[in-house]
Amino acid sequence: MISASSFGGLEFLVAGPAVGAALLPLLRDSRRVTQAAIGLASAVLAVSIWMWVDVVSADGAYVWQSNASWIAALDVHWRLGVDDLSAPLVVLTALLTWCCLVALLKRAPDCGGTSALVGLILVIEAGSIGTFVALDLVLFFVLFEVVLIPMWFVIAAWGDPHDEPGRRRAASRFLVVTVTGSALMLVAFLLLRSELGTFDLAALTERARVIESDRQILIAVLLMVGFGAKIPMWPLHFWLPDAHSKAPTVGSVLLAGVLLKLGTYGLLRFWYDVVPVGALEVAPYLGALGVVGIVYGALACLAQPDLKRLIAYSSVGHMGFVALAISTMTPQGLAAANFANVAHGVITALLFFVVGAVKDRVGDSGFGVIGRGLYARSPHLAAVLAVAAVASLGLPGLAGFWGEMLTMLAAYSPHPDLPQTTYLVFMVLAGLGVVLTTVYFVVAVRKVCQGVPASDAVTDVEADEWVAWLPLVALTVLLGLAPMVMLWSADVVAALPVTP
Amino acid sequence: MTTQVIDWWAIAPPLCLVAAAITALLVDAFAPRGSRALPCAISLVGVLAALLASAALSSHSRATFCLPASGIEQPVNCSWVIDDVTLAWWLIILVSTGLIGMLLQPSVHRGELPGGELYFLLLSSATGALCLAAARDLITLLVALETLSLPSFALVGLRRRNRRGAEAALKFFIVSVVATAFTLLGISMVYGATGSVAAGRIATSVATGAAVEPVIAVGMVLTLVGFGFKVAVVPFQVWVPDTYVGAPIGVAAYLSVVSKAAGLAGLVIVLVRFFSPYVDLWSPMVAVAAALTMTLGNLAALRQSHVVRLLAWSSVAQAGYLLVPLAAGGSEADIGAMQAYALMYAIVNVSAFAVVGAVSAWGAVTVDDFRGLVRTRPWLGLALTFALLCLAGLPPGIVGLVAKVAIFRSAVEGELTWLAVVLAINVALGLVYYLRFVAALLTPAPVRAAVAEPPASGQPGGQREPHGAELFVVIVTFIAAAVLSIFPGPLFFVLP
């Protein structure tokens, strides 16, 4: 371990936003609250980048570990630590929170109560980062649940202003499905505890192989269903389109960019580290569901008359790729899943920002309402939308490409104990999904950006929006051109079939 | 025949309550009119004295009312045992009784309930609850159960000139009498088969028997009925919604917290202290009962729009959760988890009933009537929101979440994975109606007439300020739940 654990960096990443959420609304003036929150989020972002540098220099091992007892009677501790799997997601969370807060500075939702919204966003940041860095199963579970009520609020109170029952239904459906999943996840955690007698993730990783394989399969299934509700994995995805499209822009960004990652992160962490034997038995089912998600998401997108819902459904497809990558149970799959995770977070967040901006300007996100010819009506907005769309469909040179590419390569040579032919079929179907994704995004861009311009002008991208979006655009290009930023660790590079 | 030596310290807490009960009744009868707060004050002093006496007992376990040993097969057996488990139940019972006593004071103040009788009955019933948790023979258990029950019938029907209350009391009374009759029948069968009513001796004779004796098994199951009725275990939950609605709200809180805790204590004593060798027989029974109770409670609560009915069915569902550790075998850790959950439930449920009582005094009945409470009465609204989230087990109600983790853990370690999965689905089910209620509280929409204006029916009250005692209970329970959410450690004071 390189860094001293007494330093408290991870404690700051978790507690800082939480304390901020409690104290900042006392400033009363919502503009000052937002400014102060941006300051706090910048500090969190800076610390998270520092942490990432430390992780890189430790070659991916756990750093910044700390341990303090919390509930002695249940043997629950505040065990924190971060490694190469969680570090990029922590940075992603910190970055997206920062972008959301910047976006709120000038254009808060009409419903008012921006201070409360800022507070909730900070709670979501604290809970998400906490989940990524928690090394105690019960702590992981508690922090996993911490984000739910704030996100429910964000959707139910600041969501689509035209559809109050709809946004409330969407919020509650999101919450109920996720809680069912996380309760099953808790059952899996407690099964692990009853087998091995500890909630400590590091100790579990060392001892896990002694669990007999029946038990491992049961735990792996419970974890798959539990995290699958969050990812969301087809057929548990039904809460997602409504929740994303009814949520306010910042809600959609955090939902797609951060909350879905909690599911894939959990699956990666526990399947690979803790129950690999059981996971191998279940993996083909996850792969199949992932592929169904890819194809289903693409077909659903083709039929969408609404741009925001289209992007929501595209998440089902992209997360299907991540699920397929996870299901290969190889180091390549792990690297691909992690890369696709981050890429999807960045690109989809950008897409939701742009579509949210369009929706704010014209009042709705239906293709009919937006009208055609956005290139002529507001060129910069249209250009960012087009860049994000082609990044999302996996154009080489942008971030989306590597996630899909590496996933398909991983599916070509899955773990030797997995059925090779089945995975070959998965790979072909995923390739079909890529084609369909290209089709629907190109059609969407055609419908919105090209064509004879509708008569009404649309305000172009403004300065504050550029500030919130440019980091995401830059990251999209950076991850596309220099994927080594994320694929640096020696064992990952050695495992890759090609050198990126 | 030797005279028994009685350990007076061991029975001091119930004696404090009895003394306070009689004093409250007499003082109210002879005191000048206008001193309506006196019975409440006296009973609070009694509860505090009982708490202090229990605290003094906590150093080591005690027993009294013992039968001397006679031969190897008849070991020493004490009818009254105070150990950590008993003391934990006592803490839950006494704290809840004190808080509920304060909740009832506003009704006394307004002249809706007679103070002396109310506090006499409340403390008498609580005395029964204390005795139940310490009893270790079937006769003492039965007497304690009756002491708990009889005053509570009167409490339910105590409201002056209220037909609904009388009907609720009658229904409650009839079902309860039938349940107790079953328990009595069960006790007589167990006595007939084993020749004893004492816990230790029954356990010994059950353990030495080669196989499960049908008579004893049937007797055991019948004995459980009376306690299951108190806990509101399916199929003995039918009385719950009507009785809660008909009773004064403070009394409904009493039934849902103190009476339920005492019933649980009784179930634990009967199954773990008397019939632990039959664990393979009763554990699946309790597991099925728990699964049915939580599922039925949650499904029924989904359909409720009447707030007290909703809380009534929610308390049935919570009873299902509370039974899970017993189904897991009732080891020491299981009982600890159950008591941790019961403590959490007592605090937040009293909190919820306190707010509902304060708000319904100005005419709010349905969930819709509570719309916008967080805007109009922020503290009441936030306290109720927090209490509901604790009951649902979601952060920020971390205390509820942690208590649920303990329950899940019992289920999983007791090899009841299927029950844990049922529990998981039920947690999500419960979320639906708790959330609907929370959403109504937070709605910014204009509050409906029922809350904003005095009720038309001319009942006392109207848009009145909550009584100080109610506010005190709301604040204390809210702070307790909030502190336990950050430091959940003290919740598990009894876990080994």
**pLDDT band for position A371 (50/70/90)?**
confident
Return the pLDDT at A498: 58
Q: What is the pTM of this model?
A: 0.91
Q: Does residue A367 carry a pLDDT above 90?
A: no
Report the alpha-carbon distance of residue B15 to residue A321 in Å, rounded.
69
**pLDDT band for position B450 (50/70/90)?**
very low
Choose among B417, B432, B489: nearest Cβ to A187. B417
Report the alpha-carbon distance of residue A143 to residue A128 in Å, rounded.
7
**Inter-chain touch A186–B405, beta carbons under 8 Å:** yes
Choose among B394, B405, B417: nearest Cβ to A149. B394
Return the pLDDT at A3: 43
Minimal C-alpha gap between A207 and chain B (Å) = 18
Report the alpha-carbon distance of residue A410 to residue B55 in Å, rounded.
64
A483-487, A490-494, B293-297: least confidently modelled range: A490-494
> Measuring CA to CA, how many Å separate B419 from each of A102, A300, A340, B283, B405?
47, 37, 37, 12, 14
Return the pLDDT at A458: 80
Tokens read off for A280: 């191998």
Q: Is residue B75 part of a domain?
A: no
Best mutation site among A144, A186, A192, A216 for testing chain B: the one with the most B CBs within 10 Å? Answer: A186
Report the alpha-carbon distance of residue A324 to residue A233 in Å, rounded.
10
- Which residues of A fall within a CB distance of 8 Å from B396? 146, 149
Residue by residue, DSSP assigns B35-91 as -TTHHHHHHHHHHHHHHHHHHHHTTS-EEEEEEPP-STTS--EEEEEE-HHHHHHHH
DSSP state of A28: -
**Inter-chain touch B405–A148, beta carbons under 8 Å:** no
Q: Is residue B312 part of a domain?
A: yes
Tokens read off for B17: 């309550």
Return the pLDDT at A9: 84
Q: Is residue B182 part of a domain?
A: no
The β-bridge relationship of strands A76-82 and A63-71 is antiparallel
Residue by residue, DSSP assigns A296-325 as HHHHHHHT-SBHHHHHHHHHHHHHHHHHHH
How many domains, in total, are found in chain B? 1
Q: Does residue B459 carry a pLDDT above 60?
A: no
Task: For residues B100-105, give the mean pLDDT.
Answer: 94
Task: For residues B274-286, give the mean pLDDT.
Answer: 91
**pLDDT band for position B57 (50/70/90)?**
confident
**Inter-chain touch A156–B439, beta carbons under 8 Å:** yes
**pLDDT tens sequence across B393-421:** 998 899 999 999 999 999 999 989 999 99
Q: Is residue B315 part of a domain?
A: yes
Minimal C-alpha gap between B58 and chain A (Å) = 19
Report the alpha-carbon distance of residue A186 to residue A183 in Å, rounded.
5
CB A132 within 8 A of CB A293: no
Q: Is residue B416 part of a domain?
A: yes
Report the alpha-carbon distance of residue B179 to residue B223 in Å, rounded.
9
**pLDDT tens sequence across B307-347:** 999 999 999 999 999 999 999 998 988 999 999 999 999 99
**Inter-chain touch A176–B432, beta carbons under 8 Å:** yes
**Inter-chain touch A186–B424, beta carbons under 8 Å:** yes
**pLDDT band for position B447 (50/70/90)?**
very low
Return the pLDDT at A111: 66
Rg (CA), chain A: 21
SS3 A108: coil
Task: For residues A315-325, give the mean pLDDT.
Answer: 93
Which position has the token pair 């269903």?
A225
**Inter-chain touch A74–B396, beta carbons under 8 Å:** no
Return the pLDDT at B453: 44
A95-104, A328-337, B56-65, B295-304: least confidently modelled range: B56-65
Mean per-residue pLDDT of chain A = 88
Chain A contact residues (CB < 8 Å to B): 70-74, 111, 127, 138, 141-142, 145-146, 148-149, 152-153, 156-157, 168, 172, 175-177, 179-180, 183-184, 186-187, 190-191, 193-194, 218
Task: For residues B250-258, give the mean pLDDT.
Answer: 95
Report the alpha-carbon distance of residue B73 to residue B391 in Å, rounded.
47
Cα dihedral sign for A498, A205, A255, A328?
positive
**pLDDT band for position B60 (50/70/90)?**
confident
Q: Does residue B455 carry a pLDDT above 60?
A: no
Q: Does residue A211 carry a pLDDT above 90?
A: no
Report the alpha-carbon distance of residue A10 to residue A126 in Å, rounded.
11
Q: What letter represents residue A498's amino acid?
A: V
Residue by residue, DSSP assigns A398-416 as SHHHHHHHHHHHHHHS--T
**pLDDT tens sequence across A39-87:** 999 999 999 999 998 888 888 788 888 888 888 888 899 999 998 889 9
Choose among B401, B417, B488: nearest Cβ to A191. B417
Tokens read off for A412: 């070509």
**Inter-chain touch A73–B401, beta carbons under 8 Å:** no
Nearest CA in chain B to A18: B396
Q: Is residue B55 part of a domain?
A: no
Q: Does residue B183 carry a pLDDT above 90?
A: yes
Q: Does residue B162 carry a pLDDT above 90?
A: no
- Which residues of A fall within a CB distance of 8 Å from B419? none
Minimal C-alpha gap between B397 and chain A (Å) = 9
Nearest CA in chain B to A127: B395
B306 bridge partner residues: B366
Q: Does residue B387 carry a pLDDT above 80?
A: yes
Return the pLDDT at B463: 55
Task: For residues B187-196, give the mean pLDDT.
Answer: 89
- Which residues of A fall within a CB distance of 8 Å from B409? 74, 190, 193
Return the pLDDT at B457: 42
Q: Is residue B436 part of a domain?
A: yes
Q: Is residue B382 part of a domain?
A: yes
Report the alpha-carbon distance of residue A148 to residue A181 in Å, rounded.
12
Return the pLDDT at B446: 53
Q: Does residue A432 carry a pLDDT above 60?
A: yes
Report the alpha-carbon distance of residue B73 to residue B200 in Å, rounded.
10
What is the greatest pairwise CA distance in chain A?
A: 69
Percent of chain B with pLDDT over 70: 92
CA B348 to chain centre: 12
Return the pLDDT at B73: 59
Return the pLDDT at A7: 67
Residue whose C-alpha is closest to residue B334's, from B134, B132, B135, B495: B495
Mean per-residue pLDDT of chain B = 88
Return the pLDDT at A136: 93
Tokens read off for B243: 């009785």
3-state SS record for A53-95: HHHHHCCCCCEEEEEEEEEHHHCEEEEEEECCCCHHHHHHHHH
Residue by residue, DSSP assigns A162-184 as T-HHHHHHHHHHHHHHHHHHHHH
Nearest CA in chain B to A146: B395
Minimal C-alpha gap between A184 and chain B (Å) = 6
**Inter-chain touch B439–A179, beta carbons under 8 Å:** no
Tokens read off for B405: 């983790």
**Inter-chain touch B409–A70, beta carbons under 8 Å:** no
Return the pLDDT at B102: 94
Task: For residues A173-200, give the mean pLDDT.
Answer: 91
Task: For residues B343-361, give the mean pLDDT.
Answer: 93
Choose among A157, A179, A194: nearest Cβ to B428. A179
Tokens read off for A337: 């899943």
CB B346 within 8 A of CB B261: yes
Report the alpha-carbon distance of residue B276 to residue B262 in Å, rounded.
20
Q: Does A232 sit behind a cis peptide bond, omega within 30 degrees of 0 on the bond before it?
A: yes
- Which residues of A fall within a CB distance of 8 Å from B402? 71, 74, 142
Return the pLDDT at B34: 65
Q: Which domain holds residue B457?
A: 280-496
Collect all residues with Cβ–Cβ distance below 8 Å to A194 and sequence separation of at least 6: B412, B413
Report the alpha-carbon distance of residue B385 to residue B423 in Å, rounded.
23
Q: Does residue A412 carry a pLDDT above 80?
A: yes
